[in-house]
Structures are given as C-alpha cells and as structure tokens.
Amino acid sequence: MGTFEELVAEGAAVPLEGWDFAWFEGRATEERPPWGYASLIAARLGAVSSALDLQTGGGEVTASAPVLPPLMAATESWPPNALVAAKNLPFVVRAPDSGPLPFRDSSFDLVISRHPVVTPWGEIARVLRAGGIYLSQQIGAGTNRELTDFMMGPQPVSEARGVAVARAAAEAAGLEVLRLEPVALRVAFFDVAAVVHFLRKVLWTVPGFTVEGYRDRLLDMHAHIQEHGEFVCTSTRFLVEARRP
C-alpha cells in the first residue's frame, strides 16, 4: 500500500469513461445480486427481435451477451460514454436520461436498463410493443449510505429510489409490474484510492465530491482502512420487470 498522497493521486487519475469497474479488482468488492443481471438480460436479448438499452454507459454489459437481436439500439447522454458505447454496440444515439426517446411508438419487444440515473416510465411504456417487457436493475434508496455519512456527516435517506415509488410510477405509466425484488449487498473498500475513484465515478454518493474539498475526510478514511483493513458499506439494488399490456 502506498502513502496517502500516492493513493489519492492514483484514484484521482483513473479515467472515468465507460462503466467498466475492472480497475477495482483487488481494491474493492461488492456482492452481486442473486438474479445475475448480465445472464438474465443475455437470455432475454437472445429471444426477441428488437431491444433498447437505456443509459447504457459504455455498453459493456449488453455487449457481453452472446446473441443480440436484429434490432439492438441503445441511448447514452454523456458524450465520453457514448463514444465508448458506439464501439461496443451496433446503434447508439445521444438522448437525455429523462427523455424524450428518439424512437417511434411500439418499437421494441424489450427495454433494459442497468442503474439508470432516472427512469422515464412514460417513454418506456410508449416505445414498448404490446406485451413488451421492461427489465431493469436499479439503485435503491440509501445505497452506500455509510460511505455518504462518513464523508458528509449523517444525511437523510430519500425514498425517491425506493421500490414503492418505482411500482407506483410503473403502474401510472400503464405498465403491469411482474417482479420487484430488492436486495442489500456488502461493499468493501481496501484502500483510499478505490474510495476516491468510486466517488468520482458514482457521483450521487457524495454530490460535488472533489479530492481537495474532502481531503480531511479522505485522510480519516485512509486511517480507518489502515486500522481495520477495509471500509464496509451496503449497496441497495432492486430488479424490476414490467410489461406493457
């Protein structure tokens, strides 16, 4: 393990493009949800003729599916990620996360989304064909709150990302919720470089995070990890599957 300054500098230098977390190997771990999102969507993608991946990031997860449908589209709003996604997927368009989506009504058998920033339920219902499915792994309420509180002090937990809100929004858009499964997962960081990179990449954990603005708390984090060997927090996820009648 390097010095505090070396580790912070290392974490601050990691590129942010794409949504590949391979850099964290050996430096942080996160339990995986029991449903296995990548395998789940791979099976679905191989069984439909048209699909849309919303807020695809770098497109890495969807591109890992062994078979993609004849019509495979994706959206991404952040230009650096869109460039990465265009190398991984056949058709990527720039579109705002909250919509509108640049597709005709009833265009897709399947819409997928992994960790969307927002979920444009009305637009999802519009572009799905009758009987089409929306399948998404989402970030739940209070995810990694221990890390947020360590860096910022105790913060209120909003239920805006809660499962009840998701169900109500899906039903309000005219979708039938088939599955809504929450889970809590153990996360551990093994050095402060991993914390720095995570907070730069997952922006909502500590809004407005900068190394300079949080240097004192990062120094405390470094001391905590040196003493305990890790910093542990809990991520929350839920799987939602909804159908357009």
DSSP assignment of 35-97: T-HHHHHHHHHTT-SEEEETT-TTSHHHHTSS---SEEEEEE-SHHHHHHHHHHSS-EEE--T
Task: State the pLDDT at residue 18.
Answer: 73
pLDDT band at 20 (very low <50, low <70, confident <90, very high): confident
> Residue 151: what pLDDT?
98
pLDDT, tens digit (0-9, with 9 covering 90-100), for 48-68: 999 999 999 999 999 999 999
Q: How far apart are CA 109 and CA 2, in angstroms?
A: 50
**Mean pLDDT computed over every residue of the chain:** 96
Residue ranges and CATH numbers for the domains of the chain are 4-243 (3.40.50.150)
Model pTM score: 0.89
pLDDT score of 210 more than 80 = yes
Whether 144 contacts 194, CB under 8 Å:
no
Does 19 score more than 80 pLDDT?
no
